[in-house]
Chains A and B, each alone.
Chain A
Amino acid sequence: MDLSAINPVLLIASLMVAATPLLLAAIGELVVEKAGVLNLGVEGMMIVGAIAGFATAVESGSPFLGFIAAAIAGAALSILFAILTQFAQANQVASGLSLTLFGLGLSALMGQSYVGVKPPRMGDIHIPGLSDLPVIGPILFGHDIILYFGIILTAAVWWMLKYSRIGLVLRAVGENHDAAHALGYKVLKIRLAAIMFGGACAGLGGAYISLIRVPQWTEGMTAGIGWIALALVVFASWKPWRALLGAYLFGGVTVVQLNLQAAGVAIPVEYLAMSPYLITILVLVILSADKSSAPAALGRNFHASR
């Protein structure tokens, strides 16, 4: 065992990178579910965002444009889900699952000519002085811009849901769409907006994997992160800061366990491998012991005539 081989600064810096795709997708889905819609297609929107962002970044040479394209692609795919569930009144669970399957297939098709291509690099920000500080510099001031965007987005969503009028309306739609409708709110339009926001966030998360975390395009490269994001929303009891905590815990334990393995720590590898799931669930379940619960109208379709 040689724990000194682990550099805690690099460790924390890389756990933040590992957590960001999960955080982005989870925050998006959180807003969707707060509006009373259950979209199980996160994985599909992520993977389509991953290839759309990758392709755009390669063709244009700008990773930034890639991220914008990824958000648009994710949102576009989510519109499909919105049409099916909000206007055609299809079952949300089935539509979400098929969205994932569709996204995986579509991304494989789109990505055929991008296997093995190297994307342009997204530079890390560099603030003179601050980024050069020992320890704090690499952890707080040495990342790419999207990572900070994820944290800012969490704060913004938290503030929006808790304090703003839009947040209040969104929550009303998610808790009781009939009452919201009676008050004159456009339930379907609000839900459509929420679904598109969720799609855009999932797309960003996917592009973060293909452009920064890995960075390359491989079929099926999100490998289940969308599903973990879905579970994370539930375990975080629909609270943005808990989703952030959960994402960092999950990303953190994933990176820590690989570090411990490489350092030869004498813990059986199976326990290390399951630890990210176990610890994240455990912490969030303990946190959610209070009376927070799911939005009351979650997964129920709305039609004005009923």
Chain B
Amino acid sequence: MKLTNLLTSATVALGLAAGAAWAQDKTKVGFVYVGPVGDGGWTYEHDQGRKAVEAEFGDQVETVYVENVAEGPDAERVMTQMALEGADLIFTTSFGYMDPTINVAKKFPNVKFEHATGYKRADNVSTYSARFYEGRAVQGTIAGHMTESNIIGYIGSYPIPEVIRGINSAYIHAKKVNPDVQFKIVWAFTWFDPAKEADAAKVLIEQGADVILQHTDSTAPQAAAQNAGNVITFGQASDMAEYAPKPRVSSIIDDWAPYYIARTKAVMDGTWESVDTWDGIGAGMVGIGEISDAVPADVKEAALAIKDSIADGSYHPFTGPLKKQDGSDWLAEGETADDGTLAGMNFYVEGLEGDIPQ
């Protein structure tokens, strides 16, 4: 009996030692995804980033990922598991992972965490996000020009600042080129449910929308628009080029690869620090997918002009004069929104109808 015990503990000790030695050789990077890597949108692009990290560092890194992780307690379990298995750096790639990330990070002070699209940080938790609203300004411009029914459908996921910023930005720029434009907003309360997203798109089309903007992750709304015929859409998070040239006339592409490579490098070099990164078109984190031939040349030109002025910093998508939905003043003439307000944005701008679910 004693011999068995001794042998068992010896084996365990050996195993641990071997495990530790192994872990030191490679930097282990974990990714937690909210949808499947084959969603063709949000999670797909994060996974491209992960692959880029592998391609960049080859044998020096080991990446692991878990897909379809529900936002909430399940996420905490997955992150804890990753940390226990020796991950040095963990990217948690959905807004709803914010509190789980902070909780798990407290328990593993030596593991670095990177949370996408959130606003809570700690010594070992960085946040990063892309200024998708810059891309929404380009989409809004195209949408405003292109709509004939003057009804633009918008499929929202959850009423969080990131989504609300997108709605506001798209609306402001659609309104700028087409004062009669009206937004119909449907909240799907999911990031990924193709059947529901398709239903939402169909409903909006049935109610007269001929432009569909989506802030959900699958390509289902694109397929619904294609079936309906004369409707245009925009790729979300990924290019969704398989639906070009129509219905998909352009897209917002998230390019996480450079960021993921830089942060992994920082962990390897021991220079990692908790930071808050929020990059847009200028820095290349937000890409605008090719504007297809379904868009008239002059509209395309106007959209590209907006894109370029945002990229070089000469124009901010939230520039006054702007009022809030209730009519109160928000930004004075020429004033631009500060990042703090944008990060916590919980109001519609003037002209949008309906209430934000609270």
Contact = CB atoms under 8 A, between A and B. Distances in A.
Interface of A: 5-7, 10-11, 14, 18, 21, 108, 111-112, 115-118, 121, 209, 213-216, 218-225, 254-255, 258-259, 261-264, 266, 268-270, 273
Nearest to B220: A214
Contacts of B258: none
Contacts of B227: 121, 215
Contacts of B187: 261, 269, 273
B353 A223 contact: no
Contacts of B207: 5-7, 259, 262-263
For the complex of A and B, the 8 pairs showing the least CB-CB separation, nearest first, are A219-B36, A116-B242, A219-B38, A269-B357, A223-B193, A221-B194, A258-B203, A216-B223
B67 to A, nearest CB: 8
B163 to A, nearest CB: 13
A117 B40 CA distance: 11
27 contacts: A6-B207, A7-B206, A111-B38, A116-B243, A214-B194, A215-B227, A216-B220, A218-B38, A219-B36, A219-B39, A220-B39, A220-B192, A221-B194, A221-B195, A221-B220, A222-B195, A223-B196, A225-B195, A255-B199, A258-B199, A261-B187, A262-B185, A262-B186, A264-B353, A264-B354, A266-B355, A273-B189
Contacts of A6: 206-207
A112 B226 CA distance: 22
A259 B223 contact: no
A121 B226 CA distance: 12
Given A5-B207, A7-B206, A10-B206, A216 B199 contact: no
Interface in B335-358: 353-355, 357-358
B199 A209 contact: no
Contacts of B184: 262-264
B214 interface: no
Contacts of A116: 40, 219, 240, 242-243
Contacts of A216: 194, 219-220, 222-223
Nearest to A21: B195
Nearest to A261: B186
B208 interface: yes
A119 B35 CA distance: 23
Contacts of A117: 242
Interface string B317-338: 0000000000000000000000
B199 A218 contact: no
A69 to B, nearest CB: 20
Interface of B: 35-40, 68, 153, 159, 184-187, 189-190, 192-196, 198-200, 202-204, 206-208, 218-220, 222-224, 226-227, 240, 242-243, 353-355, 357-358
A221 B41 CA distance: 13
Nearest to A215: B223
Contacts of A220: 35-36, 39, 68, 192
A218 B40 contact: yes
A121 B229 CA distance: 13
A116 B243 CA distance: 8
B38 A254 contact: no
A218 B243 CA distance: 14
Contacts of A261: 185-187
Contacts of A266: 355
A222 to B, nearest CB: 8
A39 B358 CA distance: 39
Nearest to B241: A116
Given A108-B36, A108-B38, A264-B353, A223 B199 contact: no
A14 B189 contact: no
A223 B194 contact: yes
Nearest to B68: A220
Given A258-B186, A262-B186, A264-B354, A218 B39 contact: yes
A214 B223 contact: yes
Given A5-B208, A209-B195, A220-B68, 4 more contacts: A21-B195, A111-B38, A214-B224, A269-B189
Contacts of B159: 269
B194 A118 contact: no
A277 B323 CA distance: 38
Contacts of A269: 159, 187, 189, 357
A259 B192 contact: no
Nearest to B190: A223
A270 B36 contact: no
B198 A213 contact: yes
A10 B207 CA distance: 10
A216 B233 CA distance: 16
Nearest to B203: A258
